[in-house]
């Protein structure tokens, strides 16, 4: 082979990685090769169906304690821009892909995904039959798994994973929350080619950081919130002493039952200040109202989940990342006169979507609570609104990082709730979903710069 041919081959080929093994606690084995840091990690196996946004997925703090499988076969094609990351460091335990790209092509790329993962010590494997793996998890449910590049003995790894800790009952939010209160006003300059600057601050908001994604905080800033971020277990009295116009409860990882330090505080905040919760924040509001939470068989993770807004009849395509869900009937008995005359609860909440009714229950602690959103894939609860106090929450991610922008209106709804408007959720989502996008109207700035600086932090 000529020198030119060898050079061309080196440019389009990648060296084979070391052997790697993924073993699930039920004995399923998947072989591949290492494509990032070497090591051995344990966590709950899960999968994400997003077609793009792999960096936002990998850096989402909600994945603490988990080994992520990406269902899209080619990952890393457009490299990494650090300002797209949702946290300073990835919180996931490991990554499984079909094919990892080592030579990305994109004008915003700063480095390759494998180099980024190695930089942060993330163990990853490629060459796995991810279709077979995802089918197995869908059939047999989420479970403990071990990913190793240092031990490739199946029996040894199976014994280890069966002795490993489950994420159930573990407070993972505490591991990814901030250490101290800090202000947040950061809007990445490298996003200015597509997204306009935020509105002038007009609402003081305190955000509980249970593992908040940076894009969620950025959306609050863009909506006009003067934002102070506090740790997951900040006492309600300390929050109220800041005299906020509203309180935001962030997304976060793991079992909500274990995050008692947050939902006990939320119970003291509800009715005293407007409250908005997303994902784990939705579960914190539900727990504060005395609801039960159930673990889903394999969770909702991806950017294509259809959710019906029962108030409008509109269907939103949503981004989701959670493994637990609110049991809506546990909030209280139905109020028939506000629920289409129906007196009994339905386990499959798609009943209410078919009936075009947003049912209302009578809660012992906070009065009437309305079911506002339902997942059309499996009939689980996706949103609730309190009718006698200013509070609402959704299970999915309206910040669209990654994912569709159908649910962007919820940030606007929060500002309207703080304005005291009873019609805060009555928003044309088709118009709102495009709000703030410039689509190239502004010239892109140099990647790495920021519009402002976060004070304090992790």
- State the catalytic residues: 279, 397, 399
- Give the SS3 label for residue 203: strand
CB 355 within 8 A of CB 325: no
127 is in an annotated binding site: no
Any alpha helices (H) in 322-445, and if so which ranges? 350-355, 409-418, 429-432
Residue whose token pair is 């060296």:
15
Any alpha helices (H) in 177-234, and if so which ranges? 214-222
Residue whose token pair is 């995904």:
113
- Give the SS3 label for residue 1: coil
324 is in an annotated binding site: yes
136: how many CB neighbours lie within 10 A of its CB? 17
Q: State which H helix or E strand residue 265 sits in.
A: helix 260-269
| Six-digit token string for 68 | 């992520």
The b-or-e profile of 406-445 (16+ CB within 10 A means b, else e) is bbbbbbbbbbbbbeeeeebbebebeebbeebeeeeeeeee
Strands 275-278 and 367-375: what pairing? Answer: unpaired
323 is in an annotated binding site: yes
48 is in an annotated binding site: no
The distance from CA 39 to its chain's CA centroid, rounded to whole angstroms, is: 26
CA angle 271, 275, 276 (to 5 degrees): 150
CA angle 308, 311, 312 (to 5 degrees): 70
320 is in an annotated binding site: no
Residue 268's contacts (CB-CB under 8 Å, 6 or more residues apart) are 236, 237
62 is in an annotated binding site: yes
- Give the SS3 label for residue 395: coil
CA angle 455, 456, 458 (to 5 degrees): 135
393 is in an annotated binding site: no
The distance from CA 93 to its chain's CA centroid, rounded to whole angstroms, is: 16
If you write DSSP's letter for every residue of 87-138 in order, what string do you get? SSS---SEEE-SEE-SS---TT--B-HHHHHHHTT-EEEES--HHHHHHHHH
d(CA 321, CA 402): 11
> Which residues are known binding-site members for L-glutamine?
62, 252, 254, 280, 283, 321, 323-324
* Binding residue numbers: 62, 252, 254, 280, 283, 321, 323-324
């Amino acid at each position: 082979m000529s020198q030119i041919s060898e050079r061309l081959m080196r440019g389009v080929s990648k060296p084979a990685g070391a052997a790697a093994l993924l073993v699930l606690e039920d004995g399923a084995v998947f072989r591949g090769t290492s494509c990032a840091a070497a090591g051995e990690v344990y966590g709950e196996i899960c999968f994400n169906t997003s077609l793009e946004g792999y960096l936002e997925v990998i850096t989402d703090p909600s994945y603490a304690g988990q080994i992520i499988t990406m269902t899209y076969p080619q990952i890393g094609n457009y490299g990494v821009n650090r300002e797209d990351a949702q946290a300073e460091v990835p919180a996931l335990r490991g990554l499984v892909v079909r094919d990892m790209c080592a030579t990305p092509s994109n004008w915003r790329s700063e480095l390759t995904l494998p180099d980024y993962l190695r930089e942060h010590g993330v163990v990853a494997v490629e060459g796995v039959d991810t279709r077979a793996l995802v089918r197995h998890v869908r059939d047999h449910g989420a479970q403990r798994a071990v990913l190793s590049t240092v031990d490739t003995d199946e029996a040894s790894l199976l014994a280890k994973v069966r002795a490993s800790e489950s994420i159930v009952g573990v407070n993972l939010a505490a591991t990814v929350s901030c250490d101290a209160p800090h202000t947040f006003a950061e809007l990445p300059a490298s996003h200015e080619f597509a997204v306009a600057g935020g509105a002038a601050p007009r609402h003081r908001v305190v955000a509980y950081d249970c593992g908040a994604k940076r894009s969620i905080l950025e959306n609050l800033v863009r909506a006009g919130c003067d934002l102070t971020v506090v740790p997951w277990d900040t006492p309600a009295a300390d929050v109220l002493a800041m005299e906020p116009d509203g309180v935001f409860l962030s997304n976060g990882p793991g079992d909500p039952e274990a995050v008692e330090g947050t939902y006990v505080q939320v119970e003291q905040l509800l009715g005293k200040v407007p409250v908005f919760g997303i994902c784990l924040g939705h579960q914190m509001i539900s727990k504060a109202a005395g609801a039960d939470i159930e673990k889903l068989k394999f969770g909702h993770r991806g950017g294509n989940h259809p959710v019906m807004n029962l108030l409008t009849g509109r269907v939103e395509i949503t981004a989701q990342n959670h493994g637990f869900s609110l049991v809506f009937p546990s909030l209280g008995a139905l109020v028939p006169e506000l629920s289409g005359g129906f007196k009994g609860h339905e386990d499959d909440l798609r009943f209410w979507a078919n009936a075009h009714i947003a049912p209302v229950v009578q809660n012992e602690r906070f009065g009437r609570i309305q079911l506002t959103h339902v997942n059309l894939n499996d009939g689980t609860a996706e949103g609730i609104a309190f009718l006698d106090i200013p509070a609402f929450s959704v299970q999915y991610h309206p910040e669209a990082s990654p994912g569709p922008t159908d649910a962007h209106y919820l940030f606007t709804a929060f500002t309207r709730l703080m304005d005291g408007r009873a019609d805060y959720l009555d928003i044309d989502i088709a118009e709102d979903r495009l709000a703030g996008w410039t689509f190239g109207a502004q010239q892109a700035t140099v990647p790495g710069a920021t519009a402002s600086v976060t004070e304090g932090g992790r």
